[in-house]
Amino acid sequence: MGDARYYIGFSHARGIGTVRLRKLLAAFGDLQSAWVASESALAMAGLGPSLVQSIVEARNRIDLDEEMARLEARGVRVLSWEDPAYPRRLSEIDAPPALLYARGELRPEDDLAVAVVGTRRPSAYGQQVARDVVAALASGGVTVISGLARGVDGIAHQTALQCGGRTIAVLGSGMDSIYPPEHRNLARSVCESGALLTEYPLGRKPEPGNFPARNRVISGMSLAVVVVEAGSTSGALITADFAADQGREVFAVPGGIYSRTCGGTNQLIANGARPLLSPADVLEALNLEMTIRQASSEAGPATEGERRVLGALSTEPVHVDQISRSCDLPANVVASCLTLLELRGRVRSVGGMRYVLAREAKVGYQVE
């Protein structure tokens, strides 16, 4: 990709996004010519004075060869929208990022991806739902995409990794400014089983204005977006709006009408989002549930953890916390096992985070 350096250069010029970069390409034919153009030529191409000054400042500040070396030293690849490795689904939205910075590995199978997003302060209910949904997705070979934020985003990445699945984190900053800082180790783990992506260059801090644009990338790379919990002003609702505009399926987890973390998701449902009543709902929408059932119909539990969870269940409902104590397993591991076992038809949820053995479950069992 001969123009890689110039894509990088323009990514350092604030205010030069997809639309204006297309304008520059139309005016100059290639980005190299645009990068070295005079101020008057840039103005004649239709850029206002502040944008012309932004480009001039960027090219005076950045040595493109040195910037390429900095990226290489950090293991960061650059993918322009001309690159064959650029995410196919993202390239189909109205204004895809002209350039992506990537650490880790993108694969063709990442076209089968679902975004899981939500509040930074999820309730115990929201945490459990996020784990169950992601475990179901990971078991179906679906790549889980989120934004590495605190709360639901972090749970989504962590659960995908724990289930041996792939996950992609989209940042609202440069690769050298992981946010929040306590997720730096998580970011490293994501790189090992997926990728970190951002459209922002090295040195760009996690400024508030970056995150709405980040959210359009999250939804743009996904077949569907699941909003687990979100207040009425949550950024996750921006992701859902982008998803709807991009023709993606939007799922929202219903919650209590008096819960502050569920006001946004309940409103999404009122506005036409699909209510997510089971982790399997997303798999059904992607036509994956039957594939998983068929693959597992003749096999027993795949892991020691699943065998221990089955051993802790009976005809009487048992709460997830009690199963965790009986099995001496962390609650998130138990939740993942239960989700997979439920998909395989081995256990059944009876509400209130309680489970029974499916083959022995009482028909018509009523939950108080």
Q: Do 55 and 167 fall within a single domain? A: no
Q: Do 215 and 134 fall within a single domain? A: yes
What does the alpha-carbon distance between residue 116 and residue 264 come to, in Å, rounded to a whole number?
Answer: 15
**Are the CB atoms for 318 and 310 separated by under 8 Å?**
no
Show the tokens assigned to 218: 């999250």
Question: Does any domain span residue 348?
Answer: yes
Q: Do 50 and 12 fall within a single domain? A: yes
Show the tokens assigned to 121: 């302060």
Of 289, 311, 343, the position where a domain reaches its end is: 289
In CATH, what number is assigned to the domain containing residue 165? 3.40.50.450
Chain segment 92-108, per-residue pLDDT in tens: 998 899 999 999 999 98
Show the tokens assigned to 7: 């894509």
In CATH, what number is assigned to the domain containing residue 339? 1.10.10.10
Of 248, 264, 289, the position where a domain reaches its end is: 289
Q: CB within 8 A of 207, min separation 6: which ones?
A: 172, 173
Tally of CB atoms within 10 A around 262: 25
Tally of CB atoms within 10 A around 65: 9
What is the pTM for the complete model shown? Answer: 0.79
H-helix or E-strand spanning residue 220: helix 210-220
Q: Do 162 and 227 fall within a single domain? A: yes
Question: Does any domain span residue 82?
Answer: no
Beta bridge partners, 212, equal none
Q: Do 157 and 262 fall within a single domain? A: yes
Chain segment 163-195, per-residue pLDDT in tens: 999 999 999 999 999 999 999 999 999 999 999
Residues spanned by the domain of 11: 1-64
Question: Does any domain span residue 281?
Answer: yes
Concatenating the DSSP letter of every residue in 33-68 gives: HHHT--HHHHHHTT--HHHHHHHHHHHHH--HHHHH
What does the alpha-carbon distance between residue 153 and residue 130 come to, in Å, rounded to a whole number?
Answer: 9
Question: Does any domain span residue 181?
Answer: yes
Q: Is beta strand 113-117 parallel, antiparallel or unpaired with respect to 143-146?
A: parallel
Beta bridge partners, 252, equal 227, 275
Of 10, 39, 64, the position where a domain reaches its end is: 64
Residue type at position 204: R
CA distances from 204 to 133, 176, 247 (A): 32, 8, 30
**pLDDT over 70, % of the chain:** 92
H-helix or E-strand spanning residue 110: none
Q: Tokens 């009986």 label which residue?
A: 326
Show the tokens assigned to 249: 């399926």
Question: Does any domain span residue 91?
Answer: no
Question: Does any domain span residue 228?
Answer: yes
Instruction: Please report, in tens digits, the pLDDT of each residue of the chain (368 residues total).
Output: 457 899 999 999 999 999 999 999 999 999 999 999 999 999 999 999 999 999 999 999 999 999 999 999 999 999 999 898 999 999 999 889 999 999 999 998 899 999 999 999 999 999 999 999 999 898 888 999 999 999 999 999 999 999 999 999 999 999 999 999 999 999 999 999 999 999 999 999 999 999 999 999 999 999 999 999 999 889 999 999 999 999 999 999 999 998 989 999 999 999 999 999 988 888 888 776 545 554 454 455 567 888 889 989 987 889 988 999 999 988 878 887 887 787 777 888 777 778 888 754 333 323 22
Q: Do 5 and 114 fall within a single domain? A: no
Q: Is beta strand 113-117 parallel, antiparallel or unpaired with respect to 249-252?
A: unpaired
**Are the CB atoms for 173 and 210 separated by under 8 Å?**
yes
What does the alpha-carbon distance between residue 199 and residue 100 come to, in Å, rounded to a whole number?
Answer: 5
Q: What's the domain count of the chain?
A: 3
